[in-house]
Amino acid sequence: MSRRRASAKNLVSKEIKREIKEEEEEEEGEGEMDTIKLGTRATRNMKTKLESFSFGTNPTPSSSKATIVSSTTTTTTTTAKSKKRKRSESPPVDLHLLTDADADADADAYEPTPQRKTKATKAAKAKVYKMELDSPQPAPANWLVTYRAIEEMRKGRPAPVDTMGCHAPMKETRIDVQARRFITLVSLMLSSQTKDEVTHAAVQNLRAVFRPPKEHDTDPHKEYLTVPNVLSASIETIESCINKVGFWRRKAQYLKATAEILQRDYAGEIPKSVEGLCGLPGVGMKMAMLTMQNAWGENVGIGVDVHVHRITNRLGWFGRGKETKTPEETRVRLESWLPREFYGPINPLLVGFGQTVCTPVRPKCEECLLSRKEFEIEWEGEGGEGAEGGEGVKKVGNGPLCPSAFKGSTGGPRRKVVLKKEEEVLEALIKVELEE
């Protein structure tokens, strides 16, 4: 029994000391006299509580409560039950203001660091984006040669984005254009943190579930993945169709909330502005830019996803030691120097390049032109530094254009050495077996 009492006393002593330390940290910097008074009062409080603590055979949880009152703040530690009650009394979160933060690697908003709050008191904030730099960044050297080389490597090398990207629904001219725009938005909302193949399959699942039986499907031009059908569908039905994509439960709620907003505020159509699109739940700047480009045909900005963010930093387009931290920062800095006619094509170009050659893990640098000291490409238009000759075949010979070449890649020479060692081991084993 004495051990239990000593253990309980130690726990209470640690709790009181911890609260005193928190109070001292909160009042730190208010002046030397305030600090001295705080220390004296805190010590007196601790002694009083330790002396008044009752160490019976069954100490009650309420004896571990402590309240510290200071000149600036009042901190009260409560039991788990009261904390649970406070959480239940918190106001409901408005889905219209939520962002798909880890999802959307595409949740790419510039926001100030929020003050620390409890989970019960955290309030949803509207999305805020920075549209341009205060001072534009100069264009990196040889960026156009690099861009043309990537175009050359993409020829004859199909990537998932080519057939299953967000542009694919708009090519289905048999269905109504308003339905195509909505499908484009849906595919982008499902695409964050998800491969193109999985996103495409999820969209097709939704279209198949909403389609009526063949005997009732008499109009081949009619599309059933529409705003009214999403509104009338249950959340369980939507979840069953998209449960392979990342964060599918959250995205199912986003789809329902988005359909409600579109029906109420836009007569079933999707917004035709970046501001309107970003006001939808789960839609960030990347999705808004790609929706404007593909659904409305308006080139208002660059859609930067993880591939574009990763590759532009690998290419050193922002300078050594000045790499961007988020896709949104990448977008702002790219738009400060990239000509507007490249805003649209740069996304599918670099996404396909990232899916086939410049992969996130073990990039195929031995297959990349940018890792060579010299290469030739077919060229149209004006040239840049390091390129010789006119239109047609252009020779580039300024050394590797990618500063990240062979850093963490498969590496051609290194791979050959490994294979050679394996062959030598096999030959030695065969030789030993023959001798025996």
CB 309 within 8 A of CB 268: no
Distances (CA, A) of 152 to 272, 331, 341, 358: 34, 24, 18, 14
Helix (H, G, I), strand (E, B) or coil at 346: helix
Q: Which of 49, 286, 394, 395 is catalytic?
A: 286
Cα angle value 240/235/108 (rounded, 5°) = 90
CA distances from 122 to 90, 93, 115 (A): 9, 9, 9
Place of tokens 């402590």: 66
What are the residues whose beta carbons fall under 8 Å from the beta carbon of 317, sequence distance 6 or more?
A: 140, 143, 334
How far apart, in Å, do the first and last CA atoms of the chain sit?
Answer: 73
Q: What angle do CA 10, 11, 17 make, to 5 degrees?
A: 85
Displacement of CA 20 from its chain's centroid (Å): 40
3-class SS at 75?
Answer: strand
Please give the sequence-ordered ranges of beta strands (E in DSSP) within 84-204, or none if there are none. Answer: none
Q: Tokens for 89, please give them.
A: 């009394």
Q: Is 214 a catalytic residue?
A: no
Beta strands in 89-228 (DSSP E): none
Taking residue 35's Cβ as centre, other Cβ atoms within 10 Å add up to: 14
Active site residues: 286
